[in-house]
A and B are shown apart, each in its own frame.
Chain A
Amino acid sequence: MLFVAPVVLILGVFLLLPILMALWVSLTGWNGQGSPFTGDVPFVGTDNYTRLFTEDGLARQDFMTSIRNNLYFVLLVVPAQTALALALALVIDKRMLKGKVFFRTAFYFPSVTSSVAISVVFLFMFANSGAVNSLLGAFGIDGPQWFADSRGVVHVLLGAVGVDTAPAAHDSVGPFGLTWWDWLSGPSVAMCAIIALVIWTTSGTFMLMFLAALQNLPKQLDEASLIDGANRWQHLRYVTLPQLRPTFFLVLTLGLIGTWQVFDQIYVMSQGNPAKTTLTPAFLSYRTAFREFEYGSGAAISFVLFLIIVAMTLFQRWILRERRPS
């Protein structure tokens, strides 16, 4: 018992207790002065929560914008990092190549470095006259001013075919106070730079997971399917991928949990700018509490984010559930 006591104490005091305290604070209007657990702090009930959903105002506007931004972030990052990780693992695993260890190391290295340090490097690369734009320039493409460009990529594409403003039907107010035109903007150009960074840093870890799973697959099945005359593609589609189901499950779950929490990169690279298009719920929660001193509101945002993560994970479990053959 004595052996577990320190861990139980630390985790209890610094993980469990704080969650309960924050739940309480999310029901109050505490502004950071004094202790939040005295009678002087106004109790506001569920106001901090309802303001995010039902009241037309800046709080809801910002929160829904952050949800939209993060939604596009998740929709692009999770499939891309999973596909890239799988592709790299398949190439490293299958071919009779030399230097496997080198390539594995190279792909994994970005994952172990500091998120802050690597964000600094990407800030430089995506600067207006930075490496990415020089590279684009070499192909005759005039690169955008990445971190100053708040245009949504869907809007940019629509602009290219001549649609510059919202069609009348889409200018109306959509769900939760944002117009349909805003909901359907796509990620901003600035967000795309952060998306590129995150895909680049996380793919390596997931590649290792796929690689470990591939190396544990029984070899007999490979031989059997080759004898049956399956070609490479059929073999991959009907033999290898179904066996990787548990790994897919793990990678997608970790991907979803991770992408809904994106914070460090936002803090270093954009602080939610330009025009709030890189604002995410995690950063909004931080900003609300520590910059605007509305701790109750900030805590409420973080609990809603928690529920979103739980809901997304359950939803994905349900999508990927084992379907019984009928």
Chain B
Amino acid sequence: MKKLIFFTLLMLPLLLVAQTISGTLTDASTGETLIGATILDQKSGKGTTTNAHGRYSITLQGDTAHLRFSYIGYKTEYQNVLLKGNRQVNVKLQPSVELNEVTVTADRISSPKTSQMSAIEVPVEQLKLVPVIFGEADVLKAIQLLPGVQSGTEGMSGIYVRGGGADENLFLLDGVPLYNVNHLGGFFSAFNGDAIKNITLYKGSFPARFNGRISSVLDITTNNGNDKEWHGGASIGLLSAKLNVEGPIIKEKTTLSLSLRRTYGDLLLQPMIMMIAASESDGEGSANAGYYFYDLNAKVTHKFNDRSRLYFMWYSGDDEAYFRVRTRYIGTDEREYMKLNYRWGNLATSVRWNYELTPQLFMNITGSYTRYRQHLGVGMEEDYRSGGQTVHEEAEVRLNSGINDINARADFDYAPSPDHAVKFGGVATYHLFRPNVQSMQAHFSEEIPIDTTFGESSVGAGEFTFYAEDDWSINEVLKINGGLSLAAFAVQNQVYPSLQPRLSGRFLITDDLSVKAGYSYMTQYMHLLSNSNISLPSDLWVPVTARIQPMNSNQVAAGVFYTWRSLIDFSVEGYYKWMNNLLEYKPGATFLGTSTGWEDKVCMGRGWAYGIEFLAQKSFGEITGWVGYTWSRTMRLFDRPGETLNNGNPFPAKYDRIHDISITLQYKPNKNFDAGITWVYSTGNTATLPMQYISNGGNTWESRREVPYVESRNNFRLPAYHRMDISVNFHKQKKHGVRTWNISVYNLYNRQNPFIIYPRTTESNSSGEFYTGLYQRSLFPIMPSVSYIYKF
């Protein structure tokens, strides 16, 4: 209590004489809010940045303020503001026309001036220029190219951050968690680049407002939509077609942003499948089969006034594989029908209300719903003649699983002075896990109809989090971000509380050079049961239980940050991370889509990861891009009684890649042409491979005299992974818009990177001997692609 009184007394003189300027920064041409833009009072040297909704608040003393508003890719604006009473100053920044123009003075999240570290903000336009497979711009695959982030298996969208697992990343789409971020087994991510405005990846030093995963947070903000005029674009590539439109429903009041993506291969193949079915059928047959995925992003934003906005966000994305065959026998009323339908995907929707309670206090209330579910249905129907009558029989088996979250949260930004940026709030989430529900309906002649549901029942869980953090400029040199998060997870009559401290600090040596350090503790209350290296829709999310405890991680990081002539950001970061209660499958265990008894099939252990990351990033100019290098190690130890792996000795994790290099460059000399090139190299993945056969020691288990001997888990290192991709875009102004031809080549020099390895006995010689070799299969050879884009 004494501290509170002291703090209030300390702040009182400031509050009495200071005035607050608040407002919103937007793009002058589209009305889109700008996230992370910098506002600096050149007179006092105090500054702040816009929040995730483009809002800022700065409290200053004196008669006037000389404000500078700046953002990457925009012309800097200057305004003199009289400090007489609180003021609303909304600023519209003009996009920079000249590509070479150096207009950027904004404090990017990883710049030397911020207290945040272990976070990377990559401009979305830059991510879209990164060449990728099939010409499909994919933000997750671009994120994989950043230091500290490992990709999983080739071509997959999974990310492994600083030694964490694929299920330890929190993907937030406008603040709503998404559980499955993959399409087509992970070859494509669920994020349509056309719908995205801003992406920030946090690898450590997590601000207290982020919770629920132990390795990373990928915070994605979608476009609000142009509030002045309608624009849009359409594109068609080898795999998918995309359409996006945005514009004002009510000018400068209500906007809509809509993006749709769908693969179309199934539609093209349909006539061929129908022809084959007709020719192969004994009677009148028809068939259709195929696979597709789609994403739909929609956002409606309504501005009540300068202080109040309402957002409605919708995302749905599904994959579906289907197969249906109908046969009608000629001259009879007999017929057969078989179907298989496998559908999986996400739905996320939210309603959000922003309101400026006072010039210094900004409120954000969100209600959201997110769901991941999979459905497998297999059925048949048959009509046939028996005893002079037509008999009808039918059966269908369905398998459903998924997770549903209902979430309510309140977030507040409080800026009592330029030296403090306080955030606090609370989140309540109800999770409903449906790991595995199977149902069967059948009606066969002369038998009792079956209509039953079985499998594990749903598991409900409540998760509550309260957080508070302050970004505090102690003086010109020292700035800290301290926070605390209190979380609790209630499941199966068990409550797991967790107090999670977060702290990061910056020591500014010069305006362009700083040293930062941070610590964070994170807890995760759910696990993804997966039994393969690719993302299968059958992977199941399950909660912690009375037996399986929450995962947690402690991470410390320190680094040096330098900006060279306001052009290039350099950073060197080192980190060490401890992880507890990690899960691995017991030797020989398999899930294959069933969650039954899963607790018996896993063991709990711990892990640690450490490394050094180098990054040089240039975000504007003719040539942009980044060069990243990571040296890291990731280890696991499972030595609890009854749960040992690798004889209780430490072993490298599957994605323990010691060296990881990525070079990503984009070249944009004029508005008619741009090109991108990417080169990646990493140490090969590990694999568990027996190199020797040994005697079974006369063991009583009879079936083998020899047993394969593995010296240690993940003892074998696969060949190194590397490839180069290029893409070029040719733009041309047309009467109603701009058309673009994109030509991309994935794996330009046709590197045969291992996708799977396996032993194979290949040949025998004349003396009756045979040869066992180790072989690999590659997935993607050189892959050229072309796509057409039209924007109006």
Binding between chains A and B: no
A-contacting residues of B (Cβ < 8 Å)?
A: none
B-contacting residues of A (Cβ < 8 Å)?
A: none
